[in-house]
């Protein structure tokens, strides 16, 4: 996204998110020279920030305690499985699966996080364990689609196009457009 589009979005929304701010910084850091339009857009953004027309949203000031509880549970269970088998499990996939089936436990202070941890241990521990076990079961039961597949070589656009054409001819040879 360009600086101009980011500034336009910030002016429209009335706020500059940390992601937008990082993207502007990345563009500015990697550009050897900014155009007049980019300087003008940055000037408009600075003016809007100074007048309060645009508010900079602070970086994340909250945590989802459920993430750390589930991740700890997943790591422990995956370690047990990997010690006794040759399976290699993806902790991220398993954690995401379980988290999508559990309630979030957000906190903005360490005191709030401590409260959420204690609450989870007394009220949700069994549910967390159940969802992690289900996530692992789903992960282990997933079929291995096209184990022979390989990433496309990205040397240049023509080679990628040739590879895609070959794949389409191989796997979609009977496809007819209606």
**pLDDT tens-digit profile of 27-80?**
888 888 888 998 899 999 999 999 999 998 877 788 899 999 999 999 999 989
Q: Considering only residues 155 and 32, tell me which one the structure prediction assigns the higher pLDDT.
A: 32
Per-residue pLDDT band at 12 (split at 50, 70, 90):
very high
| pLDDT for residue 152 is more than 70 | no
- The token duo for 119 is 């609450």
Cβ count near 56 (within 10 Å):
14
- Residue with the bigger pLDDT between 150 and 72: it is 72
The owner of tokens 């364990």 is 129
Statement: the pTM of the whole predicted model exceeds 0.85: no
3-state DSSP of the chain? CCHHHHHHHHHHHCEECHHHHHHHHHHHHHCCCCCHHHHHHHHHHHHHHHHCCCEECCCCCCEEHHHHHHHHHHHHHHHHHHHHCCCCCCHHHHHHHHHCCCCCCEECCHHHHHHHHHHHHHHHHHHHHHHHHHHHHHHHHCCCCCCCCCCCCCCCHHHHHHHHHHHHHHHCCCCCCC
Q: Which residues does 21 contact at the CB level (< 8 Å), separation at least 6? A: 56
Q: How far apart are CA 42 and CA 112, in angstroms?
A: 38
The pLDDT-based confidence of 128 (bands split at 50, 70, 90) is very high
Q: What is the pLDDT of residue 72?
A: 93
What mean pLDDT, rounded, does the chain reach?
Answer: 86
> pLDDT band at 1, cuts 50/70/90?
confident
Which of 19-28, 51-60, 157-166 has the weakest average pLDDT? Answer: 157-166
Reply yes or no on whether the pLDDT at 114 is more than 90.
Answer: yes
Indicate if the pLDDT at residue 154 is higher than 60.
no
Q: At what angle do helices 65-84 and 91-99 cross, to 10 degrees?
A: 140
State yes or no: pLDDT of 146 exceeds 80: no
Both tokens assigned to 136? 């692992």
pLDDT of 136 > 90? The answer is: yes
Average pLDDT over residues 76-96: 90
């Amino acid at each position: 996204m360009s600086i101009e589009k980011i500034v336009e979005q910030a002016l429209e929304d009335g706020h500059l998110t940390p992601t937008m701010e990082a993207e502007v910084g990345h563009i500015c850091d990697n550009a050897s020279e900014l155009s007049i339009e980019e300087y003008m857009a940055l000037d408009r953004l600075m003016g809007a920030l100074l007048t309060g027309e645009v508010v900079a949203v602070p970086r994340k000031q909250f945590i989802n305690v459920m993430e750390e509880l589930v991740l700890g549970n997943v790591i422990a269970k995956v370690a047990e499985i990997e010690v006794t088998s040759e399976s290699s499990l993806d902790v991220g996939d398993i954690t995401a699966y379980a988290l999508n089936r559990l309630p979030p436990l957000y906190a903005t202070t360490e005191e709030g996080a401590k409260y959420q941890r204690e609450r989870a241990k007394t009220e949700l521990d069994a549910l967390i364990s159940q969802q992690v076990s289900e996530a692992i079961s789903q992960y282990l039961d997933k079929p291995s689609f096209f184990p022979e597949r390989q990433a496309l070589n990205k040397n240049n656009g023509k080679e990628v196009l040739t590879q895609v054409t070959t794949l389409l001819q191989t796997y979609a040879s009977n496809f007819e457009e209606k």
